[in-house]
């Protein structure tokens, strides 16, 4: 993860037919380190849909003892969450872990997230739950995006989603590059057909400066 304050990275999300569904710009707006040497990166995310609707999300990453932590809430559909923007949404999320130096074949811990949509009375109207299981470092691959070519660690996992009474299981493939972070993510049906993908498409000029 780059630590240059005010860096920006641009991601674009596509559907299975390579049509843009939304863009997402991440900006580092703050960085802190506590007495236990845990570093927290505060991120502002600006999401713009193909209909030019724009909304914002705020979240954080953290790192400690050569491990990077990412909240599972980042795997929730931002467009679906925004449809409940006039309601209270309570999110309880674990963090997935990414070692700074993973080894091929390494199994990574499972993680989960639950988002409760609340009525005005505080009662739960609907819940969305995501489980990430069977997480594994599959290998090292070179991934090319419009911003360049990156040497990445490939991580796969099974994503189990619950929404109301429905249950869905998909496959996630992610590619992470050291000092860059997420480069590309793909999601597939159980039959192997592509659902969507998101990739890094632009970075700020000072992205790699110390």
What pLDDT digit, counting tens, does each position of 40-54 carry?
A: 988 899 999 988 889
* pLDDT of 204 strictly over 60: yes
Residue found by looking up tokens 């600006």 in the block: 46
Please list, in sequence order, all residues whose beta carbon lies within 8 angstroms of the beta carbon of residue 145, skipping any fewer than 6 positions away: 183, 184, 199, 200, 201
**Residue 186, domain member (yes or no):** yes
**Residue 82, domain member (yes or no):** yes
**Residue 78, domain member (yes or no):** yes
**Average of pLDDT values for 102-111?**
94
**Residue 58, domain member (yes or no):** yes
DSSP state of 73: G
The CATH number assigned to the domain holding 104 equals: 2.40.360.20
CA dihedral 136, 185, 170, 77 (to 10 degrees): 130
Q: What is the pLDDT of residues 187-197, one digit of tens each?
A: 999 899 999 99
Q: How many domains does the chain have?
A: 1
31 vs 210, higher pLDDT: 31
* pLDDT number for residue 210: 39
Q: What is the pLDDT of residues 138-178, one digit of tens each?
A: 999 999 999 999 999 999 999 999 887 788 999 999 999 98
**Residue 136, domain member (yes or no):** yes
* pLDDT of 56 strictly over 50: yes
* pLDDT number for residue 109: 95
**Residue 161, domain member (yes or no):** yes
In this structure, are residues 110 and 104 in contact, taking their beta carbons and an 8 Å threshold?
no
**Residue 69, domain member (yes or no):** yes
**Residue 163, domain member (yes or no):** yes
Give the domain range for residue 57: 8-203
CA distances from 126 to 80, 83, 91, 123 (A): 12, 13, 12, 9
Question: In the structure, what pLDDT confidence band is assigned to residue 209 with cuts at 50, 70 and 90?
Answer: very low
């Amino acid at each position: 993860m780059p630590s240059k304050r005010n860096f920006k990275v641009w991601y674009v999300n596509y559907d299975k037919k390579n049509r843009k569904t939304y863009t997402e710009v991440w900006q580092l707006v703050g960085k802190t380190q506590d007495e236990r040497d845990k570093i927290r990166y505060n991120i502002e995310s600006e999401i713009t849909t193909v209909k030019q609707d724009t909304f914002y999300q705020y979240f954080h990453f953290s790192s400690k003892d050569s491990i990077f932590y990412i909240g599972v809430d980042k795997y929730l559909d931002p467009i679906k969450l925004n449809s409940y923007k006039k309601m209270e949404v309570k999110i309880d999320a674990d963090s997935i872990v990414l070692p700074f130096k993973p080894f091929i074949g390494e199994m990574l811990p499972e993680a989960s997230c639950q988002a409760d949509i609340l009525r005005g009375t505080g009662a739960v109207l609907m819940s969305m739950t995501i489980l990430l299981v069977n997480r594994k470092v599959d290998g090292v691959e070179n991934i090319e995006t419009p911003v360049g070519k990156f040497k990445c660690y490939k991580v796969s996992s099974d994503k189990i989603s619950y929404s109301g009474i429905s249950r869905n299981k998909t496959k996630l493939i992610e590619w992470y590059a050291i000092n860059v972070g997420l480069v590309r993510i793909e999601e597939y049906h159980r039959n192997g057909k592509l659902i969507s993908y998101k990739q890094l498409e632009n970075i700020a000029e000072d992205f790699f400066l110390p």
